[in-house]
Structure 1
Amino acid sequence: MPKRYHQFWNSRRGAGRPACAPLSTRNPAMPASLCHPNPPSRRQFLAGAAAFGLSACGGGGGEAPAAPPGIHSFVAEPVAVGEPARLTATFTGGTGRIEPDIGPVQSGVPVSTPPLAAARQYTLVFEAAGQPAARRTLELVPQYRNRYVALATPLPLQYHAAVNALDGSVIVIGGSRGMSTTSEAVDRFDPATRQFTRIASMATGRTGHTAHRLPDGRILVLGGQVSLATAVQAELIDPVRGTVTLAGRLAQTRNRHAGVTLDDGRVLVVGGFWRDSVELWDPASLSFRLVPARMRHSREFPSATLLADGRVLIVGGDHVDDVDVPAEVFDPRTERFEPVAAPVDAPLRYFHKAIRLADGQVLILGGERRDGLAPPAPLASVLRFDPATQTLTSAGALERPRSLVRGVPRPDGSVLMFGGDGPGDAATASAGRYREGSGQALGPMPAGRAWHTVNALPDGRVLILGGDAPDGSPSGGGLIYE
């Protein structure tokens, strides 16, 4: 018998005392004080021994005390841009719900969020009787997988336009679609199915045009080339009804121009080949009107960016004049141009990208240097425009020189860029991210392309369509960056 059970037996038997026999049979020589009057039965002994053993091992004593009501954990698995996140909450003694989007949840049961395009906060709210609600918050920051998914497009695309529609689809307009043909096609790309569908046709095919979404969702298409001539007639696309109507004639022919939709629904058309003028399109009268004031010089391939106060920042553009004015601001209310202060060494640029940030400032990214008779060269430099001081200042550099810049802004203030021309005037497959003064290389596309279009999709992924291959031929198909 183990020692501890022997000790227990002795304690129950009276320190080893034998059981007391009846007086008639008891040994008279044994004092009554040395015998145990009530010895335990075998069942009592085994039960007591078990209890003694559990006590010696630290067990027994009933169930462990219950955890107090409250939140124990709220966690998420890593999530990629455009995909749902999985959240798991554990809690006891009450009920839980996750805000926003999800609602009531069970402890320990994973739930999924909608697809995440950008950083988003979710809060677990725990409620129990007799105590205030408790909260725990997670910030989910989805990351790109840094890969490309190939799309099957109906035909190769060059010199087309692509506009984000109000419903999240992308409207692809005109361009050259193989065999040097100028297309009048209007197609819709559906991000959910990743399919292209023909929805309408313009009156004539065109290339090198611009397309501008109006507040009501219609799209104004203007300028560019029609066969060997410059297009004068504008057209208005209704992507909901699938119709195209004529929308007036430009006051001057425009090619290699820029345009922007104003807050009141009018469209400002800026510059173009040998043009120092701007004109305004009125949606009420479907007509264009030439503005009397002129820019400081002609601007070919400039950028035009709507500012938060309703004015328009016009930057760069190639020209043949003797004076270089890097930028100016047009005020639609006064129809006058205002000067912009710029660094003395800031080169005049074109083929750049201008993007307005959430704080109202504007980034001018890359482009091509115009420097007299010197060969054109792509730029890596970045400028920042501050509307409050109306100045351009240096803002660091891209990860590499890049012209024909195509990119999209991200909610975190960064800009993603894909392709364009690099050194040697060759279409590049490179991609990069610019943020807070510096550039970072992303995974390259499968092949180089320039003159393509880049559109942000509602789920945060990026649509890349068409363009020129490095040998100048049409770049086949499209890509989704995710």
Structure 2
Amino acid sequence: MGRSINGWTSSARGGIAKGRARSPGWKAGVAALGLLSACGPWEARYEVKLLTGTCSAIPALEGARYLRFRVTGADMEPVERYVPVDQGTAALPIVPPGKGRVLEVRGYTDLPRMGGRLVALGRSRSFEVPESAGEARPTVSVAVRMVDTYVRPATAQGTCVSLAEPRAAHTATLLDDGRVLLAGGFRTGSEGVDSTVSSAELFDPVTGTVTQVPALGTARAFHTATRLPGGKVLLAGGEMRSVEGALPVRSARVLDVAQGMSTEVELKVARSHHAAAVDSGGRVLLVGGVGAGGAVVAQAEGYDSATGQVFSVSTPVPRVGMAAMPVQDGRRIAVVGGSDGAELRPEVLFFSFEGGSFVPVGEGARLREPRRDAALVPFGGLERLLYVGGYDSAGDVAEARVLASSELVSPGAAVQVSPGPQVFARSGLCAVALPDGRVMTLGGVRYGAGGLVSDPHVELLVPGQNGAATALLGLKPLDPSRHQHSCTVLDDGSVLIAGGQGEDGSRGTTLGDLVIYTPVPLD
């Protein structure tokens, strides 16, 4: 039952017998490291395909001497096994049958108990181990990448992967199947004129492939993308850019990627630079933004994914540069920060769906340092929000100060706002919450010698335990610097950074790259 793949042969006893000699630093430029199978007395009833393709000159498993395979599941105790990379004599862990199994693969320079250092990491999507040995074995694919390194993905053939079209101010949405939908945006041409993008594409972080999906119908940038129950995505509003300026978009489109279908929806009002969030019932609240003539939009509205209908919201929210996020298990939606065009708004608003529409609920709180164009992200769990960076001006950013502060919003029975950690001063940054509660902030804009320039800083914020202060770690900077990019936490806990705008104070360049960063885990 042995088979030879990339010079490694999976043995009849489930291990990997060495086919031809290679050092621990062997080149893994192709995507598949091999299939690890299990047979006979070592019955594991699943196979594993390690994908190590990368555009880097350094292989994903460079310096690794041992692989650790660890399988977890809701109804089982974790099981693990170490396999020497240079000998490949051990088998996969034996896993009890059942659904919801997740395999984590780590590459170490030596055994951890001997001081081995983690150099590579990958996690599978959930899979099922069959009850009977006679059933078909699932093949579990795991993309293994170097930790603490920006990696450009590659296909199985070793081809470097980029966006099909450079884009900035686009949206990136993680779908139920683990792929990422990247839609819309704008790009700056050779003459310095911006044009809006109407295309959309899907990136598969496991196989490293990019495929285009049907065009959006209406080109749009600075729109919102909201994942709905059932896996559909609502792309709402935005603006079209041309030599004549920016025109806000009144339409929305519901994409069903799995079925290859889309539906046009007409909104109550045209808006861009707005905020949107979905509650636990699949209803989307859209607030604020910029409308016709550059005016701040006051009218809020909602979209019900169950009926496909747009409905009015009676409470006006005249804001731009704010953020919205579901809280309390999606029973409420928080709206934080922003400007009404004349002054910054310090009120933290909460909405819930009652009587057929969204209504304000509870007594809100006030930001200690009002701001706009900051990033809002869960911090240390779902019941605390971090509002980080931004400008301190309601209007012209040329006269604004870029903030190096953050605030913590705790939306409990009594809403609390408290000072957060100090950060690198920048606005329009990406901020993502990692599965373990840590937060990464990436890129943005700051003031340079020529005016506003793209910022390269990347930070890792670690929540303090038992009242301790937040720890802030500076990570390797982005190269190139960027803003108006997207950052998406993938199923395996790594972060996808896509596109954006590079600005050096004199000209802007629209980026078309894809980069994946895998954080070092806490353990």
Superposition TM-score, scaled by structure 2 size: 0.64
Deviation of 1:272 after TM superposition, in Å, equals 0.8
Name 1:146's counterpart in structure 2: 148
Query: Structure 1 counterpart of 2:285, which letter?
Result: L
- Pairs within 5 Å for 1:237-316: 237-246=255-264, 248-273=265-290, 274-295=296-317, 298-309=318-329, 310-316=331-337
Q: For each residue in 1:340-375, what CA deviation from the matched residue of structure 2 results, as whole angstroms up to 9, or x when unmatched?
A: 2235x4233333233364251111122222267782
Deviation of 1:188 after TM superposition, in Å, equals 0.5
Deviation of 1:434 after TM superposition, in Å, equals 1.3
Q: Does residue 332 in structure 1 map to residue 349 in structure 2?
A: no
Q: Does residue 159 in structure 1 map to residue 181 in structure 2?
A: no
For 2:441 and 2:226, the matched residues in 1 are separated by: 21
1:394 to 419, 423, 426: 419
Whether contact under 8 Å (1:157, 1:474) holds in the other structure is yes
CA, structure 1 residues 306+104, in 2 after alignment: closer, same or farther (shift >3 Å)? Answer: same
Identical-residue share of aligned pairs (%)? 27
Name 2:488's counterpart in structure 1: 455
Other structure's SS at 1:324 match = coil
Q: For each residue in 1:261-317, what CA deviation from the matched residue of structure 2 results, as whole angstroms up to 9, or x when unmatched?
A: 11111111011121233211122432222211223xx21021101012511111111
Name 1:185's counterpart in structure 2: 199
Whether contact under 8 Å (2:169, 2:222) holds in the other structure is yes
Other structure's SS at 1:459 match = coil
For 2:249 and 2:372, the matched residues in 1 are separated by: 26
Q: Does residue 433 in structure 1 map to residue 411 in structure 2?
A: no
- Pairs within 5 Å for 1:195-234: 195-227=209-241, 228-234=246-252
Deviation of 1:414 after TM superposition, in Å, equals 1.1
Name 1:114's counterpart in structure 2: 104
Whether contact under 8 Å (1:87, 1:110) holds in the other structure is no
Q: For each residue in 1:118-157, what CA deviation from the matched residue of structure 2 results, as whole angstroms up to 9, or x when unmatched?
A: 999xxxxxxxxxxxxxxxxxxxxx9973211234222211
For 1:403 and 1:144, the matched residues in 2 are separated by: 29
For 1:167 and 1:194, the matched residues in 2 are separated by: 14
Other structure's SS at 2:509 match = coil
For 1:169 and 1:88, the matched residues in 2 are separated by: 24
1:175 to 174, 178, 185: 185
Deviation of 1:339 after TM superposition, in Å, equals 3.7
Query: Structure 1 counterpart of 2:174, which letter?
Result: N
Q: For each residue in 1:15-56, what CA deviation from the matched residue of structure 2 results, as whole angstroms up to 9, or x when unmatched?
A: xxxxxxxxxxxxxxxxxxxxxxxxxxxxxxxxxxxxxxxxxx
Q: For each residue in 1:415-445, what CA deviation from the matched residue of structure 2 results, as whole angstroms up to 9, or x when unmatched?
A: 0121111233210112111122242210011
CA, structure 1 residues 101+177, in 2 after alignment: closer, same or farther (shift >3 Å)? Answer: farther
Q: For each residue in 1:206-239, what CA deviation from the matched residue of structure 2 results, as whole angstroms up to 9, or x when unmatched?
A: 1111111101000011100135421112111111
Greater Rg, structure 1 or structure 2? Answer: 1
CA, structure 1 residues 86+318, in 2 after alignment: closer, same or farther (shift >3 Å)? Answer: same
Q: Report how many aligned residue pairs link the two structures.
A: 367
Structure 1 residue runs without a partner (length 5+):
1-79, 90-97, 121-141
For 2:407 and 2:323, the matched residues in 1 are separated by: 13
Name 1:362's counterpart in structure 2: 385
Deviation of 1:448 after TM superposition, in Å, equals 0.6
Deviation of 1:100 after TM superposition, in Å, equals 3.2
Whether contact under 8 Å (2:378, 2:386) holds in the other structure is yes
CA RMSD across the alignment: 3.3
For 2:148 and 2:263, the matched residues in 1 are separated by: 41
Query: Structure 2 counterpart of 1:147, which letter?
Result: T
Superposition TM-score, scaled by structure 1 size: 0.69
For 1:144 and 1:104, the matched residues in 2 are separated by: 18
CA, structure 1 residues 336+477, in 2 after alignment: closer, same or farther (shift >3 Å)? Answer: same
Greater CA deviation, 175-184 or 201-210? 175-184
Whether contact under 8 Å (2:328, 2:382) holds in the other structure is no
- Pairs within 5 Å for 1:6-25: none
Name 1:12's counterpart in structure 2: none
Name 2:444's counterpart in structure 1: 420
Query: Structure 2 counterpart of 1:433, which letter?
Result: L
Name 2:67's counterpart in structure 1: 86
Deviation of 1:323 after TM superposition, in Å, equals 7.0
CA, structure 1 residues 232+455, in 2 after alignment: closer, same or farther (shift >3 Å)? Answer: same
For 2:462 and 2:148, the matched residues in 1 are separated by: 17
For 2:223 and 2:250, the matched residues in 1 are separated by: 11
Other structure's SS at 1:466 match = strand
For 1:360 and 1:86, the matched residues in 2 are separated by: 36
Q: Does residue 236 in structure 1 map to residue 254 in structure 2?
A: yes
For 1:88 and 1:239, the matched residues in 2 are separated by: 33
1:407 to 431, 434, 441: 431
Name 1:8's counterpart in structure 2: none
Name 1:474's counterpart in structure 2: 510
Name 2:41's counterpart in structure 1: none
Name 1:37's counterpart in structure 2: none
Query: Structure 2 counterpart of 1:355, which letter?
Result: P
1:379 to 403, 410, 426: 403
CA, structure 1 residues 435+243, in 2 after alignment: closer, same or farther (shift >3 Å)? Answer: same
Whether contact under 8 Å (2:185, 2:196) holds in the other structure is yes
Name 2:38's counterpart in structure 1: none
